[in-house]
Amino acid sequence: MVDYLIVGSGIAGICFAETALQNSKSFLVVDDFSSSSSKIAGGLYNPVILKRFSEVWQAKSQLDYGLPFYATIETRIKSKFDFKIPIYRKFASIEEQNNWFQAADKPNLAPFLSTNIIHRQYQSISSQFGFGEVLQTGYVDTAVLITSYADYLIENDLFVNETFDYSQIEFLAKSVKYKNIEAQHIIFAEGFGLHKNPYFNQLPLDGTKGELLVIKAPNLNLDVVLKSSIFILPIGNDLFKVGATYNWEDKTDVPTEEGKQELVDNLKEIIECDFEIVEHFAGVRPTVKDRRPLVGTHSEHQNLHILNGLGTRGVMLGPSLAKALFDNIEHQMPLDNQIDIKRFNKKN
């Protein structure tokens, strides 16, 4: 018997597994590595929505809890994946500069927006109006995190490498059984795979396809994340991650020519040097129409729980959401109404 059976080993699944570990709970993770939008995510954590100059929902508390949480994981798996790096917003006009200063005056945004306009000249980037610096930013190399954490779980016999078969769930008096595994609770953290889950697939998980490029640009001497119509993230050795697109119709994880062209066109408006495309990725982010996650317990089966809908900000949301669900299950601490799946209907 284990306390938790966790389905999915992306950001959500890892965060819940780590929360269970830190609280001395037993668990197993089930996944088949078939797909995960977490692996191809940009992995940026940025407390400000730069398009609208507004604070990301609960940004401060997410960073305050999440960054030490990731540091603990780095120590556990002996792998570095959290990198502090400034994010620069490229200003397109005086008006954008003024909007930045107005936003920086707001008490909730003041800790995150520098009031100094940066006029640093970058090779191959014209910046007539300068840049604004977002503070307390960085990125998680999600591929390193997911691969290294899976290796840790496998080494410690905490991982079952298989496709989860929902028909094999059997409900016992006070627990639940999956094949030969008995568990107190099952946590479903399958991302967009939720659509195959008969217990939660009526929840309004939309899914938004995103495409990313990795480019090689030896003459792009950039040591910060540049945010404009797209982001450009330096990852070393003259390589840069470039993203991302948003497609609400296509629900496949197949890279498209249209997605690539959109990124290339936007990139050429920002940089003035040659580059070559090294890799092209695509994945479906688990997004929800009301832009809030899906967290909570099934209304009929109290042993079944969901941790999903982390959308485009999974790196920031994952740790605190995992804690909220864990505290709800273990200590009956109520979930925030904005994340609780009860907000949709009483039939979930």
**Digitized pLDDT (tens) for each residue of the chain, 348 residues in all:** 999 999 999 999 999 999 999 999 999 999 998 766 666 778 999 999 988 888 898 999 999 999 999 999 999 999 999 999 999 999 999 999 999 999 999 999 999 999 999 998 888 999 999 999 999 999 999 999 999 999 999 999 999 999 999 999 999 999 999 999 999 999 999 999 999 999 999 999 988 999 999 999 999 989 999 999 899 999 999 999 999 999 999 999 899 999 999 999 999 999 999 999 999 999 999 999 888 999 999 999 999 999 999 988 899 999 999 999 999 999 999 999 999 999 997 544
Q: How would CATH label the architecture of 2-43+143-204+289-343?
A: 3-Layer(bba) Sandwich (3.50)
Rounded CA-CA distance 275/278 in Å is: 9
Domains 2-43+143-204+289-343 and 86-136+208-285 share a fold: no
Rounded CA-CA distance 30/193 in Å is: 13
Q: Quick one: pLDDT at residue 37?
A: 67
Element (H, E) at 169: strand 169-171
Query: Left, alpha or beta for 132 (phi > 0: left; psi -120 to 50: alpha)?
Result: beta
Radius of gyration of the chain (CA): 21
Nearest partner of 225 among 270, 287, 180, judged by Cα:
270
CATH fold of the domain at 86-136+208-285 = D-Amino Acid Oxidase; Chain A, domain 2 (3.30.9)
3-state helix, strand, coil in the chain (%, to 5): 30, 30, 40
48-95 tens-digit pLDDT = 998 888 889 899 999 999 999 999 999 999 999 999 999 999 999 999
Q: Quick one: pLDDT at residue 42?
A: 82
Indicate the domain borders of the chain: 2-43+143-204+289-343, 86-136+208-285
Instruction: Name the pTM for this structure.
Output: 0.94
The token pair at 285 is 């982010």
Rounded CA-CA distance 245/229 in Å is: 10
